[in-house]
Amino acid sequence: MYAVTDYKSTISSVVYKVSEGYKWNESIKGITTGTTAATFLGNIIKANEKQVLTIKGAAGIVEGASALSNTDTLVVMSADSTNITKYILTVSPDGLSSNAVITSSRYTVSIDQQPKSGTEEVEAGIGNVKGFDYGTTLRTIMANIQIPAGATLDIIDGKGAYVPLITLNFDTTYVNVTVNSNTYLSVTAENGVTQIIYQLIPTATENDAFITSDIYSVAQKDLLIEFVPRGTDVATFLGNLVASAGASIKLLNNMGQERLDGYIAVDDKVQVTSPNGNVSKVYYLSMLAERYIQSTTYLAYIISNIYTVDQVSYKVDGVSGDETVASFLTKVTASMGATAVVIDKNGNEKNSGDIDNGDKVKVTSVDGKITNYYTFGTLTSAGQIGNNSIEMYPNPTSDIINISGVKAGNRIQVYNSVGATIRDINVQNSVERISLRSQPNGIYMIVVSDNNKFVSRFKAIKQ
């Protein structure tokens, strides 16, 4: 079936940018200075071969070898002579704009490689956008970016697939998609040739090691990926996780071996390692309830803000030899509903005394189906709480605490009496000053670590 075109007074072009038509003052852009009337008409596609096209200039009809001028008009009469559309011509030295540079008053935009759009070589430019945190929605990013007039913008991932502004999550609810380092803005200039691809880079450091997801729920505090559908294959699961910028990610089975294919298991873990390789975290999985298994998976693991817990080899480092069992258990947190107890080398539960060589932490899930055992690393000698070259003063204090003897790259974390982190500092100087002015009076734990390994620990009193 052929469309009826006798009444149409519109035209199109693959060379110029032509407005939609049907109004009196339409436009045609991209005509370069010196273009003749004959060349111009040769680049116009009629809606019907019997249309009548007339170019009018200030001095009258423009035709043949006469050059076009800016604001000349193209008058198109339909084949049945009943409709007329007038197009205003834009003639300039450059034709259509080659500008693909986005701007922002809120974020930092930079271009690392300029685009190439010559007649012999066409290559997209490379840029990036920075100045926002993980968790920022793509809607917010788009609201704070300006694109050049006539340019088009697409949001894509690293494989070139389109990224939506909203998506269905684990609960089949539409949620706003958040930004990650695998998100790009592909900007094509008005000329349809010049292109720059900008990577969105959320704020992160070389020591950052965490994951986010728009599909699953990630509880960062509990190191838990929740609502993962049972029967999910490895490729799909990892494809729905995004590591912090530059970090690496892999799936491990309960023996600490990498799982590369097949389906994920309830006792699998996700290990993410920072770009510099110094920090590594392990996330556990909690499966989504379904018709036949109408509850989430119960897990058995511990985490700690005070000690270093290796979730792959199940080992706890940084425990003092004079640490009491009761004190130790207050500094670790078991997964939801799980119980954690200390047992001796014979498997008997310890309710008192100190942590000794050969002791283990036994963690049992709330349903009793999963049990994991954590060993202790080398225990520090009685009374020793870390590197003696690191000092803290004054103690007690009413405001500032000084930590001396630390090295650049060390990490200082300050915890309040309930174990919440109130300061997390990457050391830059040999003496770091920490203010507790806004904190209530009480006892605070200060932990110094290096490359995610325990160095020293202090108790500070604010009064």
Residues 322-360 have pLDDT tens digits of 788 988 898 888 887 889 999 999 999 999 888 998 999
User: What percent of the chain has a predicted confidence (pLDDT) above 70?
Assistant: 93
190, two tokens: 């008005």
Q: Which residue has the higher pLDDT, 79 or 455?
A: 79
d(CA 145, CA 181): 17
Record the tokens describing residue 114, joined without a space: 């300029």
Give the distance from CA 20 to its chain's centroid: 38
Q: Residue 382's pLDDT is what?
A: 42
Contacts of 235 (CB under 8 A, 6+ apart): 261
Residue 294 binned pLDDT confidence (cut-offs 50, 70, 90): very low
pLDDT given for residue 147 in this prediction: 96
pLDDT at 416: 76
- What DSSP state is assigned to residue 165? S
Supply the pLDDT for residue 208: 84
Say if residue 177's pLDDT is above 70. Answer: yes
pTM of the model: 0.56
Q: Residue 68 — very low, low, confident or very high, per pLDDT cuts 50/70/90? A: very high
Mean pLDDT of 411-429: 81
pLDDT reading at 419 higher than 90: no
Asked if residue 152 lies in contact with residue 114, where contact means CB atoms within 8 angstroms, the answer is no
SS3 324: strand
User: Does the structure show a pLDDT above 70 at 292?
Assistant: no
Count CB atoms within 10 A of the CB of residue 434: 19
For residues 334 and 107, what is the distance between their CA atoms, to the nearest angstrom?
A: 40
**pLDDT over 60 (residue 384):** no
Q: Which CATH architecture has domain 391-462?
A: Sandwich (2.60)
**Residue 383 has what pLDDT?**
38
**What pLDDT sits at residue 451?**
73
Q: 460 pLDDT band (50/70/90 cuts)?
A: confident
Residues 6+ apart with CB under 8 A from 89: 27, 28, 31, 40, 55, 68, 70, 71, 72, 73, 74
In whole angstroms, give the CA distance from residue 362 to residue 266. 19
> Do residues 421 and 415 touch, judged by C-beta distance below 8 A?
yes
Mean pLDDT of 359-372: 88
**Closest among 246, 262, 251, 239 to 199, alpha carbons compared:** 246
Q: What phi and psi, each to the nearest 5 degrees, are found at residue 142?
A: -65, -35
DSSP-assigned beta bridge partners for residue 209:
none
Q: What are phi and psi of 254, to 5 degrees?
A: -70, -5
Round to the nearest angstrom and report the end-to-end CA distance of the chain: 88
Choice between 24 and 235, residue whose per-residue pLDDT is larger: 235
Q: What is the pLDDT of residue 256?
A: 86
CA 121/CA 104 separation, integer angstroms:
29
DSSP code for 42: H
Q: Is the C-alpha dihedral spanning 119, 121, 124, 127 positive or negative?
A: negative
pLDDT at position 291 is 52
What letters, b where the CB count within 10 A reaches 16 and e where it falls short, cover 16-25? bbbeeeeeee
pLDDT digit string, tens, across residues 31-40: 999 999 999 9
Decide: 141 and 218 in contact? Cβ < 8 Å: no
Residue 297 — pLDDT band, cuts 50, 70, 90?
low
- Bridge partner residues of 237 (DSSP): none
Q: Report the alpha-carbon distance of residue 315 to residue 456 in Å, rounded.
A: 18
pLDDT the model gives residue 158: 87
Q: Where are the beta strands (DSSP E) in 68-124?
A: 73-77, 84-92, 108-113, 116-117, 122-123
Average the pLDDT over 110-117 and give the result: 91
pLDDT in tens, 143-156: 999 999 889 999 99
Question: 431: how many CB neighbours lie within 10 A of its CB?
Answer: 11
- Tell me: pLDDT of 385 over 70: no
Phi-psi region of 260 (alpha: psi -120 to 50; beta: other; left: phi over 0): alpha
Q: Which helix (H) or strand (E) holds 426?
A: strand 421-426
Q: Which of 77-81, 158-162, 265-269, 297-301 has the lowest mean pLDDT?
A: 297-301
Residue 6: per-residue pLDDT:
92
Given a contact cutoff of 8 angstroms between Cβ atoms, the answer to whether 189 and 99 are in contact is: yes
Quick check: 288 and 227 in contact, CB under 8 A?
A: yes
**DSSP strand pairing (17-18 vs 25-32):** antiparallel
Closest C-alpha to 447, from 390, 393, 398: 390
Domain spans in the chain, listed from the N-terminal domain onward: 11-92, 108-201, 211-287, 302-376, 391-462
Q: If DSSP codes are grouped into helix, strand and coil, which group holds residue 463?
A: coil
Mean pLDDT of the chain: 86
DSSP string, 319-361: -BTT-BHHHHHHT-EESTT-EEEEE-TTS-EE-SSB--TT-EE
Neighbours of 35 (CB within 10 A): 18
Q: What is the pLDDT of residue 118?
A: 66
The better pLDDT of the pair 247, 172 is held by: 247
